[in-house]
Amino acid sequence: MSSPSSRRVVLTGVGLISPLGNSRQELWDALLAGRTGISRFEPAQAAALPSPFVARAAGFTGEIDNFGTLEGDKKKAIRKGLKVMCRECQMGVAAAERALQDSQLTLATRDPERTGVVFGTDYMLSEPEEFGSGIQACTDEEKKFHFEQWAQQGMTKMTPLWLLKYLPNMPASHIAIYNDLRGPNNSLTLREAAGNNAVGEALRVIQRDHADIMIAGATGTRIHTMKAVHSALQEELAVGEYQGHEVPADEASRPFDLDRLGMVLGEGAGVVILEELSHALARGATIYAEVVGYGSSTAADKNRVALRDLSLANAMRAALRDAEATPISVGHIQAHGLATHSCDEAEARALRDVFGGMKPDVPVTAAKSYFGNLGAGSGIVELIAGALSLHEDKLFPTRNYKTPDPACQVNVVRETTTPGASLLNLSVTPQGQASCIFLKKYA
């Protein structure tokens, strides 16, 4: 088996479902044009939630045409399988199919035994209506629910294959089955940290010579009814009014700005194709970037309160060590940039800790200013944005950054500029799980 350092890994395909569109070109055009994917909830929904803003993947309806150009048998199989996929699963499978199509990988150019999947998700929750009929069947005239009746009268009202729709390992399972991928297969449930960790684990699989091609991605949502409630309990959500004025939707997400309003709820999925370099060159693949480092960390205090600054700093240092690089070599940072006061301050402290002594002015951009928090899907869509920046030699600015915050002393990118030759992509959860991928321009 080859040593890890002898097997270089490159990124040869991207696919996504996002509030900025369902293709790399739509994403890239929106980032360069400064176009937002954030809108307002419908009035009835807004009245029930603590934030009026939403970033929907509006172009994704779950119909088979959303999955890109599919071959006949695969198209039939996916169409049939849609009934056992929740929306998050559907977005993940669609992003994977689009990434495979973008990479131009075919059965003739890949060995199924040497091709695998690592896929990340949020925790997946049923829609409330899944239980509606069953709950009604166990509820008496006085609106009292009788749990003892559930097994006999309630569960029988539910869809027999209900559970398959919501298992977090199902995206990886579906992707492998539809594409005859018989190599390593793994699923990670790590919220916002899932995307970078999926890429990092896929990187390790190829470096260990256990595969030549890996599909790495993640799918998530913060729009789901219960997840929106959970987010409201755990995070600062963007407010609809500020200093007596209604906030326009396109100004809702303001990472690192002094007047930031909180996190915007979103949904989406992203997938990248990782490939061993000589394999990619042999088939003439387009190479967007090289994956040269990976790090992850979890940190909390004795009371189990997340130390996001420490976990982010640990993850960045681990990725730099993995790449045998120093902070001075980093071209820019693709920040987590949640747009909450506490998380942005923690991230800024981590960046000062790692870069302050060597490169305090490292450029920082935050894609969440365009589309909010996509849950587990965020990190991977942001990584795709970063890979496109390296490939196109353009770095998009952070939206809505107007007033620097003394508590966030970072060099936020305000205008389209040149990205440099490398980037660190950062993600962190409210529980202090951080992940980092180091990408470098391929040369």
Shared domain check, 152 and 37:
no
The percent of residues above 70 in pLDDT, for the chain, comes to: 98
139 within a domain of the structure (yes/no): yes
102 within a domain of the structure (yes/no): yes
Task: For residues 56 and 80, give the distance between their C-alpha atoms in angstroms, rounded to a whole number.
Answer: 25
Shared domain check, 69 and 138:
no
Task: For residues 195 and 189, give the distance between their C-alpha atoms in angstroms, rounded to a whole number.
Answer: 10
368 within a domain of the structure (yes/no): yes
Shared domain check, 154 and 56:
no
362 within a domain of the structure (yes/no): yes
Amino acid letter at 176?
Answer: A
pLDDT tens for each residue of 307-355: 999 999 999 999 999 999 999 999 999 999 999 999 999 999 999 999 9
DSSP 153: I
* Sign of the alpha-carbon dihedral angle for 326, 329, 334, 340: positive
Shared domain check, 155 and 66:
no
Residue the block writes with tokens 């991230």: 347
Amino acid letter at 410?
Answer: V
Sequential DSSP letters for 115-134:
EEEEEEE------GGGTHHH
Query: Pick from 143, 161, 179: which residue ends a domain?
Result: 161
CATH of the domain at 289: 3.40.47.10
157 within a domain of the structure (yes/no): yes
34 within a domain of the structure (yes/no): yes
Sequential DSSP letters for 402-436:
-SB-TT---EE--S-B---SEEEEEEE-TTSEEEE
pLDDT tens for each residue of 395-431: 999 999 999 999 999 999 999 999 999 999 999 999 9
Which stretches of 70-212 are assigned E, i.e. beta strand?
115-121, 185-189
Task: For residues 294 and 204, give the distance between their C-alpha atoms in angstroms, rounded to a whole number.
Answer: 9
Query: Pick from 145, 161, 177: which residue ends a domain?
Result: 161
Other residues' Cβ atoms within 10 Å of the Cβ of residue 286: 15
- Domain of residue 145, residue span: 130-161
Identify the helix (H) or strand (E) that includes residue 13.
strand 9-17
- Whether 122 and 220 have beta carbons less than 8 Å apart is answered as yes
- Nearest Cα residue to 216 out of 233, 194, 242, 248: 194
pLDDT 10s digit of each residue in the chain, 443 long?
Answer: 344 458 999 999 999 999 999 999 999 999 999 999 999 988 767 677 779 999 999 999 999 999 999 988 999 999 999 999 999 999 999 999 999 999 999 888 899 999 999 999 998 888 888 888 999 999 999 999 999 999 999 988 888 888 889 999 999 999 999 999 999 999 999 999 999 999 999 999 999 999 999 999 999 999 988 888 888 888 999 999 899 999 999 999 999 999 999 999 999 999 999 999 999 999 999 999 999 999 999 999 999 999 999 999 999 999 999 999 999 999 999 999 999 999 999 999 999 999 998 999 999 999 999 999 999 999 999 999 999 999 999 999 999 999 999 999 999 999 999 999 999 999 999 999 999 999 999 98
Q: How many residues does the chain have?
A: 443
Task: For residues 81 and 88, give the distance between their C-alpha atoms in angstroms, rounded to a whole number.
Answer: 14
Shared domain check, 245 and 334:
yes
3 within a domain of the structure (yes/no): no
- What is the predicted pLDDT for the residue at 108? 85
33 within a domain of the structure (yes/no): yes
The tally of domains found in the chain comes to 2
Task: For residues 392 and 28, give the distance between their C-alpha atoms in angstroms, rounded to a whole number.
Answer: 10
Task: For residues 376 and 373, give the distance between their C-alpha atoms in angstroms, rounded to a whole number.
Answer: 9
Shared domain check, 338 and 383:
yes
Query: Pick from 141, 161, 181: which residue ends a domain?
Result: 161
